[in-house]
Amino acid sequence: MESMHIISTKQFLDKKILGSIFKLADDMEEKDRAGILINSLKGKILASLFYEPSTRTRFSFESAMHKLGGNVISTESAIHFSSVTKGESLQDTIKIISGYSDIIILRHFKEGSAEIASRFSSVPIINAGDGMGEHPTQALLDLYTIKKEFGNIDNIKIALLGDLLYGRTIHSLLHLLGAYNVDIFLISPEQLKLPEKYKNYLDKKGIDYKEIDNIKKIIKEIDVLYVTRIQKERFNSEDEYEKLKNSYKIDSEMLKEMKDNAIIMHPLPRVNEISTDIDDDKRAAYFRQAKNGLYIRMALLEMIFKKN
Amino acid sequence: MESMHIISTKQFLDKKILGSIFKLADDMEEKDRAGILINSLKGKILASLFYEPSTRTRFSFESAMHKLGGNVISTESAIHFSSVTKGESLQDTIKIISGYSDIIILRHFKEGSAEIASRFSSVPIINAGDGMGEHPTQALLDLYTIKKEFGNIDNIKIALLGDLLYGRTIHSLLHLLGAYNVDIFLISPEQLKLPEKYKNYLDKKGIDYKEIDNIKKIIKEIDVLYVTRIQKERFNSEDEYEKLKNSYKIDSEMLKEMKDNAIIMHPLPRVNEISTDIDDDKRAAYFRQAKNGLYIRMALLEMIFKKN
Amino acid sequence: MESMHIISTKQFLDKKILGSIFKLADDMEEKDRAGILINSLKGKILASLFYEPSTRTRFSFESAMHKLGGNVISTESAIHFSSVTKGESLQDTIKIISGYSDIIILRHFKEGSAEIASRFSSVPIINAGDGMGEHPTQALLDLYTIKKEFGNIDNIKIALLGDLLYGRTIHSLLHLLGAYNVDIFLISPEQLKLPEKYKNYLDKKGIDYKEIDNIKKIIKEIDVLYVTRIQKERFNSEDEYEKLKNSYKIDSEMLKEMKDNAIIMHPLPRVNEISTDIDDDKRAAYFRQAKNGLYIRMALLEMIFKKN
């Protein structure tokens, strides 16, 4: 983390940096559960600048800021806002808002927006999702969840299931996994396979990965099953959808095959790719994963302000 | 109040519980007017999760939270929000948001939502209105207003005027009045009369009530005139509307008939069922009633966190 | 400032009052830059009641409130809100919201709204723009910017460029300039000239002003160039627009002609009337101007609460 901004997972490709973030997140959780008030960011102001709504991500950052003693100013949906409709550029908006706040959480529908914002801001920018681009804090909380559940990341067997072509979350997580020694299984319909550039990246990092045509072939041996949503429209035909849909839906039948200490992850929101029947199984880790977002964001805010 | 949640007026059908809430609300008002800072909820986070906008209700809860030293994360209108449009279930949303907050204020367009939310939340839920369902804190502030204005609730003569068929506010208030010994007059157009189930409830509780066809018959003897809005469309015809409308509009002429210490209440917003000409009359209690919402909500927040 | 409300620039037509506001704004900036926490408004609640969105104005008030230790309850866009759609009057809304807050920042699409609100509010109202009416804190921050950049306002030569007919900002600033001894140049297309009533005002105040047909004639001698946006539709024809547009666009060529210590101001948002090429020139004062809004609003909040 050389920059004061958090724009891309590329900034975190170092086990030592990742380790220190995770350790700080552990500390944050411990203090939070003990009810200890942290006042390290007292007097600081976080601005949520969301050009498209994302209640969960926004609430998780704002809750993190409050838990550190800071204040929040917030837009739910800046796209409806005057300056935007009057045609103000992102640059101008950022120049002004960075005069009113100490950190900006930016969610934007357009890829590259966070990087542009960082060039014009006088305060740190955190990319909270920029269209087809990145959402680095999501990738960090995903990786943190694996670390927390297993105690380590090396030697873990991870299956990525669903839409591997368009899934921003999957791409960002794969990037971070490049720092570790893991086994990866890729399971997707033919037309939603992982793009070549990510396979090349895994090759370059010397990471073992296999493309598998059916989750059932490896369900018994994996440690992590990371599920993402496939939109029905992505299938080639209704026929194909009907034929394949059960291979991409996780339910109690499939759970029976899994190891006792395996976990199921999902970036949420889910629609019906994971049956609610399994929510109470201890292996269903997706709500713990969402909660980890709070602690990761507390850790990142703490680090940014300690640094600057 | 056995549950940590506030879902229904049914939880409050006990004079002792109601008395202790009202006493705490009195204390809250006294401290607030004296400018005493209360820090009992320092470090706690209230999440406003409003699926339909209601500025007054939201502001009153958020102001209450701030006055107790707590913090707020807020959605004005969650219906426009990503997770909803992506089809996330209320259950999943609640599971996640309850990980980021210490209490959730839920406003939802669908009856029964608050009860569903309470089953999936790890933190207390307060129902701030669920469609045709309930809005228990409104009923509590209504009852508190009567208590405050008269010193007692027993032996008070209360006229309920307007749409008694659809009025959620009226139904909830009637429910709470079941704990007291009051006289009730019901005045509504024929087609907007109180449903049988509420009459049965009053019978069961041994409460004296009369259906009256014109407010003028009892205007001189009542203590409380609770006015609600009737939508013009609810009348059978334009003729009937023209004939009846003056019996459902409160103005200075009608005020002349009322006792000197009687009060007029209204849940607000009003349109034109109460003339603004009488706003400065001391018997116009509706703005005091709205303000009481602040103190009732402070009291409820205080009780919930003391309990948990 | 006799009233507790801030409704119009008319309240500030006094060098002594303006001087004390500017001095307090200087203090606020000094403390803010030194990282000194000001807790003067601890326990106070500011309500942002915005009937039309304006992120920059809202954020600047809310940031100011937080920096003084106060709390905020906020609506981004009250027009979508229940009470409004149910037809509640501004009076009723203000009566209720003033029961939940200690000060209300009101942005409304209708001229005169802030004055109406002030008559029904139990707490101070600050007009944050009321349609074609006023936006007094914008005028104060504009004047403060001139004071800060030059050390004084008397004897400054100010050119006002663009739409002088509809520009609310220009009209309010001209009003405040009436307290000083300045030279004013008015440059606009024929059909967007300053209305007679403002010229009469300047005459009455004995202020020297000239209407000029081209900025180039006076560009070398002015101290302040205040630029406003002209909507293309305001021109009589496409031809006229093409012919004139370059006289109303500020770029590096025009900058070459200006004095070394002159400044360029703009109320923002800009579209393309100022080229981004000149943003890094020290004479480009518009982002400093926006930042001054924070300190002016801190000063005004501080004064209002000290007074009441």
Strands (E), chain A: 45-50, 71-75, 103-108, 125-130, 157-161, 183-187, 208-212, 224-227, 263-265
Greater confidence, A82 or B244? B244
Confidence of residue C84 (pLDDT cuts 50, 70, 90): very low
* DSSP H or E segment with residue C161: strand C157-161
Residue B80 has pLDDT above 60, yes or no: no
Residues of A in contact with B42 (CB under 8 A): 37
Q: How far is CA B107 from CA B117, B125, B305, in A?
A: 11, 10, 20
Tokens 């004095």 label which residue?
C259
The verdict on whether B276 is a catalytic residue reads no
Rounded to an integer, the average pLDDT of B174-178 is 95
Q: Could you tell me which chain A residue has the CA closest to the CA of B70?
A: A66
B204 CB burial (10 A radius; 0-12, 13-18, 19+)? exposed
* Residues of A catalogued as catalytic: 56-57, 86, 107, 135
Contacts of residue A248, defined as CB under 8 A and 6 or more positions apart, other chains included, come to A161, A162, A189, A215, A230, A273
The verdict on whether B119 is a catalytic residue reads no
Count of pairs with CB atoms under 8 A, one residue in A, one in C: 73
Instruction: Spot the catalytic one: B16, B33, B86, B232.
Output: B86
CB atoms within 10 A of CB C194: 22
Query: What residues in chain C have their Cβ under 8 A from chain B's Cβ atoms?
Result: 42-43, 45, 47, 71, 73-78, 80-83, 86-89, 91-93, 95-97, 99-101
CB contact under 8 A, A270 and B92: yes
Tokens 């194909």 label which residue?
A240
Question: For domain A137-289, is the CATH number 3.30.750.24?
Answer: no
- Amino acid A166: pLDDT: 87
Greater confidence, B231 or A6? A6
Tokens 């964001």 label which residue?
A297
Q: Which two tokens stand for residue C217?
A: 């004639």
Q: Which of B59, B66, B268 sits opposite C92 (nearest CB)?
A: B268
Residues of B in contact with A291 (CB under 8 A): 96, 99-100
Q: Which two tokens stand for residue A162?
A: 């669903």
CB contact under 8 A, C67 and A97: no
Peptide bond into C269 cis (omega under 30): yes
Instruction: Spot the catalytic one: C5, C9, C44, C57.
Output: C57
Residue C291 has pLDDT above 90, yes or no: yes
- Amino acid B84: pLDDT: 45
Rounded to an integer, the average pLDDT of C257-261 is 97
Q: Are A298 and A25 in contact (CB under 8 A)?
A: yes
- Amino acid B232: pLDDT: 76
* Region of poorest pLDDT, from B188-192, C144-148, C201-205: B188-192
**What's the predicted TM-score (pTM) here?**
0.95
Residue B199 has pLDDT above 80, yes or no: yes
Strand partners, C142: none
- Amino acid B82: pLDDT: 43
Q: Which of B76, B270, B287 sits opposite C76 (nearest CB)?
A: B76
Dump pLDDT digits (tens) for B272-296. 899 999 999 999 999 999 999 999 9
CB contact under 8 A, C82 and B54: yes
The verdict on whether B56 is a catalytic residue reads yes
Strands (E), chain B: 45-50, 71-75, 103-108, 125-130, 157-161, 183-187, 208-212, 224-227, 263-265
User: Which of B104, B90, B107 has the alpha carbon at shortest distance from B52?
Assistant: B107
Rounded to an integer, the average pLDDT of A242-257 is 88
Q: What's the mean pLDDT when you consider all of chain B?
A: 92
Q: Are C153 and C178 in contact (CB under 8 A)?
A: no
- Amino acid B93: pLDDT: 94
Residue ranges matching CATH 3.40.50.1370 in chain C: 9-134+292-307, 137-289
Residue A233 has pLDDT above 80, yes or no: no
CA-angle at C73, arms to A41 and A104, nearest 5°: 40
Residue B267 has pLDDT above 50, yes or no: yes
Residue A71 has pLDDT above 70, yes or no: yes
CB contact under 8 A, A77 and B82: no
Greater confidence, B110 or C85? B110
CB contact under 8 A, C87 and B56: no
Pick the CATH number of B9-134+293-307 from 1.20.120.140, 3.20.20.80, 3.40.630.10, 3.40.50.1370: 3.40.50.1370
CB contact under 8 A, C63 and A100: yes
* Region of poorest pLDDT, from A97-111, B5-19, B238-252: B238-252
Q: For residue C9, which phi and psi values (nearest 5 degrees)?
A: -65, -20
Q: Mapping DSSP to helix (H, G, I), strand (E, B) and coil, where does residue C105 land?
A: strand
ipTM: 0.94
User: Which of C222, C67, C59, C213 has the alpha carbon at shortest distance from C146?
Assistant: C222
Question: For domain C9-134+292-307, is the CATH number 3.40.50.360?
Answer: no
- Nearest CA of chain C to the CA of A55: how many Å? 15
Confidence of residue C80 (pLDDT cuts 50, 70, 90): low
User: Which bin fits A151, alpha (ψ -120 to 50), beta or left (φ > 0)?
Assistant: left
Q: How far is CA B113 from CA A63, A189, B117, B125, in A?
A: 24, 37, 6, 11
Q: What's the mean pLDDT when you consider all of chain C?
A: 93
Give chains near C: 3+ CB pairs under 8 A.
Answer: A, B
- Nearest CA of chain B to the CA of A202: how many Å? 31
- Nearest CA of chain C to the CA of B63: how many Å? 6
- Amino acid B2: pLDDT: 55
Residues of B in contact with A74 (CB under 8 A): 74
- Amino acid B76: pLDDT: 84
CA C257 to chain centre: 27
State percent of chain C over pLDDT 70: 96
HSE-CB for B1 with a 13 A CA cutoff: 22
Query: What residues in chain A have their Cβ under 8 A from chain B's Cβ atoms?
Result: 35, 37, 52-56, 58-60, 62-63, 66-67, 72, 74, 76-77, 268-271, 276, 287, 290-291, 294
Rounded to an integer, the average pLDDT of C277-297 is 98
Three state DSSP letters for A29-98 = HHHHHCCCCCCCCCCCEEEEEECCCCHHHHHHHHHHHHHCCCEEEEECCHHHCHHHHCCCCHHHHHHHHH
Residues of A in contact with C287 (CB under 8 A): 95-96, 99
* Region of poorest pLDDT, from A23-32, A227-236, B275-284, C20-29: A227-236
User: Which of B119, C66, B190, B148 has the alpha carbon at shortest distance from A101?
Assistant: C66
Residues of B in contact with C95 (CB under 8 A): 287, 290
Residues of A in contact with B82 (CB under 8 A): 52-55, 269
Rounded to an integer, the average pLDDT of B38-59 is 94
Residues of C in contact with B271 (CB under 8 A): 86-88
Q: Are B15 and B180 in contact (CB under 8 A)?
A: yes
d(CA C76, CA C95): 20
d(CA B3, CA B126): 11
Q: Which of B43, B75, B92 sits opposite A76 (nearest CB)?
A: B75
The verdict on whether C55 is a catalytic residue reads no
d(CA B189, CA B187): 7
Confidence of residue A307 (pLDDT cuts 50, 70, 90): confident
- Amino acid C86: pLDDT: 56
Selected residue of B51, B58, B66 to mutate for chain C interface (largest C Cβ count, 10 A): B66
Confidence of residue B81 (pLDDT cuts 50, 70, 90): very low
Instruction: Spot the catalytic one: C56, C210, C291, C306.
Output: C56
CB contact under 8 A, B62 and C73: yes
State percent of chain A over pLDDT 70: 96
Q: Are B39 and A39 in contact (CB under 8 A)?
A: no
Q: How far is CA C179 from CA B93, C169, C182, C206, C270, in A?
A: 57, 17, 9, 10, 28
Residue B86 has pLDDT above 70, yes or no: no
CB contact under 8 A, A55 and B45: no
d(CA A175, CA A7): 14
Confidence of residue A82 (pLDDT cuts 50, 70, 90): very low
Residue ranges matching CATH 3.40.50.1370 in chain B: 9-134+293-307, 137-289
d(CA A101, CA A91): 15
- Amino acid B191: pLDDT: 86
Give chains near B: 3+ CB pairs under 8 A.
Answer: A, C
Dump pLDDT digits (tens) for C167-193. 889 999 999 999 999 999 999 998 899
Instruction: Spot the catalytic one: C5, C58, C108, C135.
Output: C135
For every residue of B78-108, DSSP letters joined together read GGGSHHHHTT--HHHHHHHHTTT-SEEEEEE
Q: How far is CA C182 from CA C147, C207, C208, in A?
A: 12, 7, 7
Q: Mapping DSSP to helix (H, G, I), strand (E, B) and coil, where does residue C126 land?
A: strand
* B52 DSSP 8-state letter: S
Q: How far is CA B242 from CA A255, B15, B188, B218, in A?
A: 67, 42, 15, 22
Q: Could you tell me which chain A residue has the CA closest to the CA of C231?
A: A86
d(CA B291, CA B144): 11
d(CA B271, CA B255): 18
d(CA C297, CA C308): 17
Residues of C in contact with B56 (CB under 8 A): 83, 93, 96-97
Q: Which residue type is seen at A238?
A: E
* DSSP H or E segment with residue C224: strand C224-227
CA-angle at A64, arms to A62 and A67, nearest 5°: 110
User: Which of B129, B207, B203, B229 has the alpha carbon at shortest distance from B172?
Assistant: B129
d(CA B83, CA B165): 35
